[in-house]
Amino acid sequence: MKKFHFFIIAIGAFLVDLLTKILFQKLLGSPYNIIIIIKNVFEIRWVKNFGLLFGIFERFPFTIKVLIMFVSLTVFFLFIYLSFNKLGKLEKWAFALILGGGFGNFFDRLIHGGVFDFLQIFIGKYPWPTFNFADMIIDIGIGLILIDIFLGGKNAPDPH
């Protein structure tokens, strides 16, 4: 995979997240509406997440949260940039998804002060923390890394 393709995947992940947030805000109309898809299993609801990672650090000042996200994304980007030619194909896909999803939530926090989450699932009667497509995209990227590790890193570096 060439760097150009890597960035197309990352930008695509970012745009999917951005567009789904816009779509679901319009669909819900207000923070008080809930759309029940399957009762006690899956709902769409308007949640503004002011914390990081499952809502932790919610009480930290906004500037500290933005700084944490900015530094994390910058370090992650530099790692990818400096080691790009040593990464395998699956790792490049994974990191592109993680980067795109991370920028999706960073952009949302920067523009709106918090992240718009809207997907709510329940495990039994207990709700899982509400999430969005950026979170799913990041999780898919992490899953690809775990698959690569499980395969023993047989994912050979990409010659391009």
Cα 102 to Cα 35, 38, 109: the distances in Å are 26, 29, 11
* Residue of 136 and 59 predicted with greater confidence: 136
Q: Which residues contact 147 (CB under 8 A, 6 or more apart)?
A: 90
90-143 per-position pLDDT tens digit: 999 999 999 999 999 999 999 998 999 999 999 988 999 899 999 999 999 999
Is the pLDDT confidence value at 30 over 60?
yes
Nearest to 24 by CA among 140, 130, 127, 141: 130
Q: Please, which pLDDT band fits residue 60 given cuts at 50, 70 and 90?
A: confident
pLDDT at position 100: 97
Average pLDDT of 10-34? Answer: 95
78-93 per-position pLDDT tens digit: 999 999 999 999 999 9
Provide, rounded to the nearest whole percent, the portion of the chain with pLDDT above 70.
Answer: 94
Average pLDDT of 136-153? Answer: 92
Residues 111 and 113: their CA atoms lie apart, in Å, by 6
State the catalytic residues.
117, 135
Average pLDDT of 2-24? Answer: 96
Cα 97 to Cα 2, 51, 104, 113: the distances in Å are 15, 21, 10, 23
